[in-house]
Structure 1
Amino acid sequence: MLKKKWAVIDIGSNTIRLVIYSKGQGGSYKEEENIKTVARLNQYLNPEYELQKEGINLLINILQGFKEILHFHQVIEIHCVATATVRQAKNQREIQVLVKEQTGFDMKVLSETEEAYFGFYAVSRSTPIDTGITIDMGGGSTEITFFQDRKLIHYHSFPFGVVSLKKQFIHNDPITSQERKNLADFIQASFAQLPWLKNLQVPVIAIGGSARNIAQIDQNFKKYPLAGIHQYVMCYSDLQKIQMYLAQLTIEQRERVEGLSKDRADIIVPALEVFVGLCEYSQSYSFMFSKKGLRDGISMSANEMSEEVLTTNQIIHDSVVELLIDYDVDIKHARHRARLAESLLDEIGTDYHSDNQAALRNFVNKGAQLYYLGQYIDDDSSSQHTFYLLANQSINGLLHKDRLKLAYIASYKNKTLLKQYYLPFTEWFTKTEMEEIRLAGAIAKLACALDASKRGIVEEMHLKKRTADTFELVISCKGNPFVEQYETEKHIRQLEKALEKTITLKFFQNK
């Protein structure tokens, strides 16, 4: 059965990008191809705001190349959109006609409202932030939104971007102190037009290539031990350090900075000035990068049955289902394990109380569903593969620390191996947090043992207190639990050690 495929062509002021998506078995979508070319169309706008022939020819040449790629991949559904430069061009209609004649693409010019909305839409459906500011800084425009409870409240599009700001304010290499002051003053004056943005004190979520490069630079500075930059969080002082560091370098020196793309070395300084200025104006000191932006928003909006507001739990749930499908895990079996794990946590609850029992319950549920996911790669080293896979891939709705926590729980084998995984992250978790992770991992492990034959025969469990340090776990089953009993007896010791209690087992078969 052929996968459903579609494509988004994003004609920006700095870059032109083709992304091909496909729909998975669980209904989620994935990037199949992501092809970028740097065009800098903005520089072909003349003083009368007409896109010159040279720029139009460059655009058409790139689109003809994309057409060949789309034909090879047999993609028919194509969303071709243009943003600031084409939107600002007075000969916009002429460009659309030429594109249609020479490529066959119906190029839609997005309004400022649409461009802002699609960026917000992608962020609201792929991150755990309920209330925040988005900023999507392109080559010729900058879209800013404020959303609350995942609903768009305000938006604005500024007619400047990294390319146009560089052209207008930066004429020396490196930038002079006077140029920086002029640029900073202009940015603050621009933000002052938006009274709703002032002192919001909510997270800033940045979209686009400049923000991605800044996140990569920060990760290289810190020797960040996890892969992936989606939902990567920096603080305001991190931004300032990178701003000060890059501003003193020449373009040639910036080209050698790890994490900074060579084609952005000349435009990263104005991007940083805008990001820092936004944090200052809004009094926002948490800066997150979102890999999901305009193109994803267009893709989601075009292919989802409903545009209802999603909760963080729904976003994470969908991400977990996608992982289960990707790694060929039986979903029915995974959900039964999750129910068993929650039941165990509830039974333990009176003797172990977390500061956030609801959050712990969610982690136990997801950890049990994804437990030993790495068996897909190799059964003998399931724990190691599970930890690596979950720790090093983006999971929508989970910040990096929470993703790591889930990886610990789903890969839990014993305390020794947990300590080994913990070594690169000793500053990330407190001792209490690690004890909670150990308990959650032991519960997930035992839940897996209680459904070892994948028949779902365990129906109920009750943990009965015998003495202060001794318990009996009574397990009722609807079939012969000989496999489950053997596996549970083998793995109960991990839960005993985590609780510092002795637990005896009693299995019986319901008639």
Structure 2
Amino acid sequence: MKKKYGIIDIGSNTIRLVIYERQKSGRLREIENVKVVARLRNYLTDEHILNDEGVSLLLDTLRSFQEITRHHQLDRVKCVATATIRQAKNQKEIVDLVEANTDFRIRVLTGEEEAYYGFLAVVNSTMITEAVTVDIGGGSTEVTYYKDRQLLESYSFPFGALSLKQAFVSGNVPTNEEIARLSSYLTEQFRSLPWLLGKKVPIVAMGGSARNVVQVHQLMKQYPLAGVHQYEMKRKHLLEVRRLLTSLPFEEIQKLEGLSKDRADLIIPALEVFRVLYEIVDATSFVLSRKGLRDGIFYEELIQPFGTRVFPNVLQESFFELAQDYDIRLDDVQHVNHLIAQLVEQIRSLQLYSLTDEDIHDMKRAAHVFYLGQYIDEEASSQHTFYILANRTIDGLMHKDRVKLALIASYKNKPLFKQYIAPFDDWFTKEEQKHIRVLGALVKFAYSLNDTKRKIVKQVKLSEQNGAMIMDIYCDGDFRAEEYQAEKNKKHVEKIFKRPIELRFHQK
């Protein structure tokens, strides 16, 4: 049986149970995600006591979660609590009641721990090496600054979307005056941390409010790609969402696609946090991380036995997971990459086509997942490959890079390429599109030289004779299958070199 892990996150706005299943690659796949909008923050009195109604709501919610965790036969469930329980003066009484009446024992996180786990989630699921992170919950907001993937600064502010709404907004939607007062307060708070000022780095945001902002923006622009992790917005995009939300009556905000109805009254205060922070940091972009606190806790537990809490290379880890999930033979990938290296070296030396080091990286990544759609269906492997890679979250790849990878790894011919790229046509210039086709054609040709997966092609040599190209291919074994595929695919390479190619296969 696959091992399952459970975590309960007791937040100020929502209480959530997430159950993960460990895949053969080691990746945790979410199989259950149950959310209760408890808004515990509303039950915290002015004296910072969680009242009886709030405690009763918490116990009822945890008992309902208990039925699910028992059904899944989970031995141990992590149960963490953040701002509201942290700020409650009757915290010990709450923890004792939960332990006495449920299967769970609450671990109350400090603000510093909450910020650290957010950092850990971001640094292990993106390739961004320097950033400011922000995680806005219902009752607290955590910010960190990291550089070279090392945490340098962190702070937990005792305000969140729910408490800001309580303090600054009288109705469901803030007035212009209320937004101005909120903005002034947030500016003062963020300016109190000198390490935030003018950093000129990306802001990486976590949590439900950030996710909802991104989903609203994706719907506004009819975004053609699935997934929100590593979605990138600029200042003008945050302002576009702000203009939309502040122009609508509350009833319309509640109906907005992409926005959870239970966040309709919190989204504008939360967005103001992101907007003001963007200004203070003088950020280069606003990037969403779908991975957050809960993921950070698991990263600590799952990676720590290996002597580190940070993956050495996030993207490499993602490709390893893809190889495991789709039964990709890494020895075949290695051999194809060896052939690609030979081809590139000779294309460069003969000055047949300009290939950069970044192009080589792109081709090697594509070779790793080339036609992985065969796992689903051999006949339509190109189509499946493009769909999977374009729509699956790949930690470490921004959305444009993911589409580029999908286009190279699924390359079959120009008509199919044009079909795949149609929704993303304005993402790439015509010159970039042509270049991506070239990279796809070279990877496809290299794969044809290992058609039978026997790794018999040992050496490829290119030369020019009387205006034509000669490709000598030296093999260790019967090469008829490879010769057939190479002859079939050479037309794509001939278009790159703008001249015919004569293939000469040799038995070593």
Question: Normalising by structure 2, what TM-score?
Answer: 0.96
Cα distance, 1:173 vs structure 2: 4.3
Q: 1:47-58 maps to which residues of 2 (within 5 A)?
A: 47-58=46-57
Pair 1:428 & 2:435 matched: no
Q: Does 1:478 align with 2:479?
A: no
**Match for residue 328 of structure 1?**
327
Aligned to 2:225: 226
Q: CA deviation at 1:352?
A: 5.0
3-state SS of 1:17 partner: strand
* Secondary structure at the counterpart of residue 29 of structure 2: strand
Q: Relative to structure 2, which stretch is displaced further, 74-83 or 23-32? A: 23-32
Distance across 2 between alignment mates of 1:217 and 1:448? 41
Equivalent position SS for 1:13: coil
Structure 2 spans left out of the alignment, 5+ residues: none
1:488 maps to which of 476, 483, 486: 486
Question: 1:211 & 1:454 partners in 2: Cα distance?
Answer: 46
Distance in 2 separating the partners of 1:62 and 1:319? 35
* Distance in 1 of aligned mates of 2:54 and 2:465: 81
Report the counterpart of residue 178 of structure 1 in structure 2: 177
**Does the aligned pair in 2 maintain the 1:338–1:366 contact within 8 Å?**
no
CA RMSD after TM alignment: 1.5
AA in 1 matched with 2:449: L
Find the partner of 1:504 among 502, 505, 508.
502
The equivalences for 1:124-139 within 5 A come to: 124-139=123-138
Letter in 2 for 1:248: S
**Is contact 1:354-1:360 (8 Å) kept?**
no
Deviations 1:432-455 (A, max 9, x none): 221221111011111221111111
1:461 aligned residue: 460
Partner of 1:121: 120
Q: Number of aligned pairs? A: 505
TM-score scaled by length of structure 1:
0.96
- Supply the distance in 2 between the matched residues of 1:345 and 1:334 (Cα, whole angstroms): 16
Amino acid at match of 1:256: K
Deviations 1:444-492 (A, max 9, x none): 111221111111222222222335x522222222222121111111111
Distance in 1 of aligned mates of 2:27 and 2:187: 40
Mark the CA change 1:184 to 1:495 in structure 2 (over 3 Å): closer, same or farther.
same
SS at match of 1:427: helix
Aligned partner of 2:403 in structure 1 is 404
SS at match of 2:427: coil
SS at match of 1:200: coil
Asked if 1 retains the 8 angstrom alpha-carbon contact of 2:23 and 2:29, the reply is: yes
User: Match for 1:9: what amino acid?
Assistant: I
CA-CA distance at 1:260 after TM superposition: 0.8
Q: Does 1:207 align with 2:221?
A: no
Change (3 A) 1:442 1:301: same
Q: CA deviation at 1:341?
A: 2.5
Contact 2:173–2:265 under 8 Å retained in 1:
no
Which amino acid counterpart does residue 150 of structure 2 have in structure 1? K
- Deviation per residue, 1:402-422 (Å, 9 max, x gap): 000000001100112111212
Provide the secondary structure at the position in 2 that maps to 1:459: strand
Q: Quote the residue 1:77 is aligned against.
A: 76
Instruction: Name the SS of the counterpart of 2:380 in structure 1.
Output: helix
Distance 1:32 1:340, change over 3 A: farther
Structure 1 residue 73 displacement after superposition:
1.4
Tell whether the 8 Å contact from 2:235 to 2:285 is kept in structure 1 after alignment: yes
- Are the equivalent residues in 1 in contact too, given 2:353–2:497 (CA < 8 A)? no
Out of 184-193 and 16-25, give the one that drifted further: 16-25
Q: Distance in 2 between matches of 1:282 and 1:336?
A: 46
- Residue-by-residue CA offset, 1:224-251 (whole Å, 9 max, x unaligned): 1111110000110010111122123232
Q: CA deviation at 1:354?
A: 4.8
Structure 1 residue runs without a partner (length 5+): none
What corresponds to 1:245 in structure 2?
244
Render the CA deviation track for 1:302-329: whole Å, top value 9, x for unaligned: 1112325445xx2112211211222222
Match of residue 298 from structure 1: 297
State whether residues 120 and 309 of structure 2, in contact with CA within 8 Å, keep that contact through their aligned partners in structure 1: no
Partner letter of residue 41 of structure 1? L
What one-letter code is carried by the residue in structure 1 that aligns with 2:157?
F
